[in-house]
Amino acid sequence: MQHLVDAFLDYLTVERGLATNTRSAYREDLAEFSRFVQDRKIEPIQSIQHQHITDFLLAQRKPGTTARGNPRATGLSVRSVARRLAAIRMFFRFLVREKFLTVDPTQNIDTPKLWRSLPNVLDYGEVERLLAAPKPDTKLGLRDRALFELMYSSGLRVSEVAKLTLNELNLEAGFLRTTGKGKKERIVPVGKTAADWLRRYLATDRPARAEVFLSTRGRALSTKTIWHLVKKYARGAGIQKNIKPHTLRHSFATHLLDNGGDLRVIQEMLGHADISTTQIYTHVDQGRLKDTHYRFHPRSGRR
């Protein structure tokens, strides 16, 4: 197989003009794949099938050793695995074009960006504990309660809630306007509970600033500060999960879906350009179904 890899790399250099660093990266990726094939005694190269490549990509997500025999304590990121698939795909296309193979085994393999890890979500009890963690008898506690209530109620990104302005809020109508990724503007509902907490917070003595959520110095809260607040209150609420601001957004979408929300409507509220991004929450729901079946069905195979 090595002579075919060398021919492919020469093709990349001579005919495609690939940079030296890119060639080196492809060489490393294909060396990993070659070792995988050799370890499983898959030969000749015409014997490599779709499933072998999928197995290799999945193995790359787990701890192991590199092609040079060095230990790899953690699995590769989805981005790195996607690069490995790109190298393998180009290699097999080259082999088909040069008549070394008649069938490309990489056809119909989903790109690893679609394999993204399922988002970490809070269950209903954990949400209640997190929302109740700030003490509203203080000005900052009231701000933080309103902040968390809004994030869970409307599924805003941390960047969106940080830059939210008073002019973008319409609490009487129960909506807000925000601009998300790609400068795409959308209208998002604000639940009654969140609206009530926002009214209480906005009724406090505040500097004349356009932003809704302000620091002790009267400036707009930064995304970094919101990140630390979520972490701090999660610890105080005894939540063991690795909580981030985006966890509230994930929980917002998952709980809507749990209670019968339409996927297209959830897509619109989240501001996803592609429905496939929103569909990950259906996988979360399926995961919960499988977990429930495993735990409670008498023939699930549990011990």
Residues known to be catalytic: 157, 181, 246, 249, 272, 281
Tokens describing residue 285:
């729901």
First-last CA distance in the chain: 45
Residue carrying structure tokens 């794949």:
33
Instruction: Locate 75 and state its tokens.
Output: 């699995």
Closest CA to 242 of 258, 227, 226: 227
Would you call 161 exposed, middle or buried from its count of C-beta atoms within 10 A (0-12, 13-18, 19+)?
buried
Burial letters 195-208, b for 16+ CB under 10 A, else e: bebbeebeeeeeee
Count Cβ atoms within 10 A of the Cβ of residue 224 and give its class: 0-12 exposed, 13-18 middle, 19 or more buried: exposed
Structure tokens at 180: 């998300």
Half-sphere exposure of 21 (CA within 13 A, CB side): 0
- Alpha-carbon dihedral sign for residues 144, 147, 151, 153: positive
CB-based burial label for 92 (10 Å; 0-12, 13-18, 19+)? buried
Nearest Cα residue to 229 out of 156, 168, 161, 144:
144
- Check if the beta carbon of residue 72 is closer than 8 Å to that of residue 66: yes
CB 29 within 8 Å of CB 37: no
